[in-house]
Amino acid sequence: MKKLENKVAVITGGTTGIGLAAARLFASEGAKVIVTGSNPKTLDVARAELAGVAEVVASDAGSAKDIAALVAHVTDKHGGVDVLFLNAGIAKFAPIGDLDESVFDELFRVNVKGPWLALKSFAPKLRRGGSVILNTSVVGNLGMAGSTAYAATKAAVRSFARTAAAELAGAGVRVNAVSPGPIETPIYGKMGMPAEALKGFAESITAQVPLSRFGRPEEIAKAALFLASDDASYITAEEIVVDGGLSNV
Ligand SMILES: NC(=O)c1ccc[n+]([C@@H]2O[C@H](COP(=O)([O-])OP(=O)(O)OC[C@H]3O[C@@H](n4cnc5c(N)ncnc54)[C@H](OP(=O)(O)O)[C@@H]3O)[C@@H](O)[C@H]2O)c1
């Protein structure tokens, strides 16, 4: 028996990286998968890569109008939602003094307002037995230099998992978070760092990870699948850390 047979799964930010790996895994476990993204180029690539696997929908995670349209589209087509993986996110790192206010605002728009809008709009459509998974980050619990705004967005999302779990328990919906350590995805190439600086950044992080490597998107997707499935039927308001030991050793 597949773990998500006949389930409808929405994954925000499923065009690349962790969301893309989750889309493939959830579909292989029997789910009807809908993924979103905002960049027309990666949306096109994802449509080709996920043909026959998942539906790809253009939807800006931080736009209330786009999220309302996404909810209407998914519920018109499928009636409701069983699994909601709120994964869309962006990352920018700079010391406090160098971080532009506009970057701070965009981080909070996409990473915090985004999942809040999705929780608010999808909640009435989540079926009993459903599961919401929020993508946080180990930096939400660490004092990593350069991560003030990004880390704060992820700490906020960790908090959403607790409160939404309390609010949705009565409807039979579990809400949890998966907290990745450093995972090899395109997110690092979007941070605006010169190649040499990025290489140094990656090396210094790898040196701090007991398992001595970046994780793979599939390794986060597997934890998200666990939380999405009935294997995690007594787990709610929890955060599963998948970080090669970074935050505990
Ligand atoms: N990689 C890591 O080391 C790491 C560590 C901890 C946590 N995370 C978290 O994991 C999540 C996925 O990141 P990733 O590493 O897989 O990076 P990624 O490959 O850059 O994926 C990010 C996804 O989010 C989408 N996205 C970004 N802005 C969006 C917006 N405004 N509206 C809709 N979709 C949007 C992207 O699509 P478009 O480009 O098409 O918009 C893409 O599908 C993020 O929340 C990130 O913070 C990653």
Residue 186: inside a domain: yes
- Is the CB of 179 inside a 6 Å radius of any atom of ligand 1? no
The letter for the amino acid at 138 is V
pLDDT of residue 243: 98
Looking at residue 244, what is its pLDDT? 98
3-state secondary structure (DSSP) of residue 59: coil
Name the phi and psi angles at 224, rounded to 5: -65, -40
Task: Give pLDDT, residue 221.
Answer: 99
Question: Sorting pLDDT into bands at 50, 70 and 90, what band is 2?
Answer: very high
pLDDT at 182: 98
- Residue 155 lies inside a defined structural domain of this protein: yes
Q: Which domain holds residue 154?
A: 8-242
CB 209 within 8 A of CB 244: yes
Residue 14 is assigned to a structural domain of this protein = yes
State whether the beta carbon of 11 lies less than 6 angstroms from ligand 1.
Answer: no
Q: Tell me the pLDDT tens digit for each residue of 222-241.
A: 999 999 999 999 999 999 99
Cα–Cα dist 97/166, whole Å: 37
- Would you say residue 181 lies in a domain? yes
CATH classification at residue 77: 3.40.50.720
Determine, yes or no, domain membership for 82.
yes
Q: Find the 107 Cα to ligand 1 centroid distance in Å.
A: 11
Q: Is the pTM of this model over 0.95?
A: yes
Q: CB of 140 closer than 6 A to ligand 1? A: no
pLDDT tens per residue, range 145-191: 999 999 999 999 999 999 999 999 999 999 999 999 999 999 999 99
Which is the closest atom of ligand 1 to the Cα of 153? 47
User: Per-residue pLDDT averaged across 133-139, rounded?
Assistant: 99
The CA 150 to ligand 1 mean position distance, Å, reads 12
Q: How far is the CA of 170 from the centre of ligand 1 (A)?
A: 30
Q: For residues 179 and 65, what is the distance between their CA atoms, to the nearest angstrom?
A: 28
Percent of the chain with pLDDT over 70: 100
CA of 191 to the centre of ligand 1 (A): 11
**Is there a domain that residue 222 lies in?**
yes
| Atom from ligand 1 closest to the CA of residue 110 | 31
Residue 248 forms part of a structural domain: no
Domain membership of residue 109 (yes or no) is yes
pLDDT band at 24 (very low <50, low <70, confident <90, very high): very high
Closest CA to 177 of 142, 222, 223: 223
Q: Is the CB of 70 under 6 A from ligand 1?
A: no
Q: How many domains does the chain have?
A: 1
The predicted pLDDT at position 124 comes to 98
Residues in contact with 6: Cβ distance below 8 Å, sequence separation at least 6, in sequence order: 30, 32
For ligand 1, atom 17, name the residue with the nearest CA. 187
Mean pLDDT of the chain: 98
